[in-house]
Amino acid sequence: MKPIGIYYHPSFSRKSYMTIGNRLRDFPEALEHLLAKPNVRMFESPKAPVELILKVHHPDMIRMVARDQLCSTAYESAGGVVAAMEALARGEIDRAFCFIGAGGHHSGYRQFWGACCFNDVVIALTHVREISPWRRFAIVDTDAHHGDGTRQLVQDDPDVLHLCFCGADYTSPDETKVDVDVYRLGWQSGVNRLYVDQVRRQLPRIPWFKPDLLVWYYGFDTHADDYGALGLTEEAFFEICDLMLFISDETGVPLQVVLGGGSLSHLAARTIPEIIRRLAEG
């Protein structure tokens, strides 16, 4: 079994974002049975240092984030993603699951929205490029909304494959920036199968790209009950997880899962532990 790191901070369960109630209220207790496994460890997410954040964002972002109440966990959220990616790059773990209290993929150079404060993944890969030989990163985003902040920050970076399942179809000339319209599938009969098939069809891009790391933005906001509803059920998320594990193993690269959108605590409790179990046992 591969060593798994879980990155979490207690503030995420007290000050979770985009909530109807508190989406992470059942954590970390919901992970107790998983933490008993010998290959699973939980780490407390540290704060991301300002000097690292400023390598990605305009200085105005520090002031803007400080004034936004939804960003109270922004430094720990980004810091956990950075710490996990560094541990993966150093070979200390093979897979990671990163909890967050504030999101990342709607955060660009000088703007953010949707309670996404600092761009966690881009900050992390910027750091890892400085401390390791890793240069190429594949990002698969199945959150309900387009990862516009991430796209802005990596748009001109040919060493980042950004594959986003959202509401438009687009492929950049070099085929490293790809959007797949899944909104048109919403609420159709068999939407789970249709959505997962779209993900499966795009996976050959990853071995072609030859990344050093595969990152999966996991948002459960596409669930039929949540705010970005496309009609999906939990089974779709588990099938996508299995696809991420398959392509990670096929390409021989580590897998980092970063939590994205989703507001309902019962969906968090029903899906996150199962995804971590699959990371630990797959």
Q: Domains of the chain by range and CATH? A: 4-281 (3.40.800.20)
d(CA 272, CA 282): 15
How far from each other are the two terminal CA atoms of the chain, in whole angstroms?
8
Report the pLDDT value the prediction gives residue 15, as an integer from 0 to 100. Answer: 67
Residue range 77-104, pLDDT digits in tens = 999 999 999 999 999 999 999 999 999 9
| Confidence grade of residue 16 (pLDDT, cut at 50, 70, 90) | low
Looking at the predicted structure, is the pLDDT value of residue 21 above 70?
A: no
Residue range 150-208, pLDDT digits in tens = 999 999 999 999 999 999 999 999 999 999 999 999 999 999 999 999 999 999 999 99
Looking at the predicted structure, is the pLDDT value of residue 108 above 60?
A: yes
d(CA 94, CA 254): 5
Report the pLDDT value the prediction gives residue 282, as an integer from 0 to 100. Answer: 86
Q: Which two tokens stand for residue 16?
A: 């979770």
d(CA 273, CA 145): 23
Q: At what angle do helices 234-251 and 265-281 cross, to 10 degrees?
A: 30
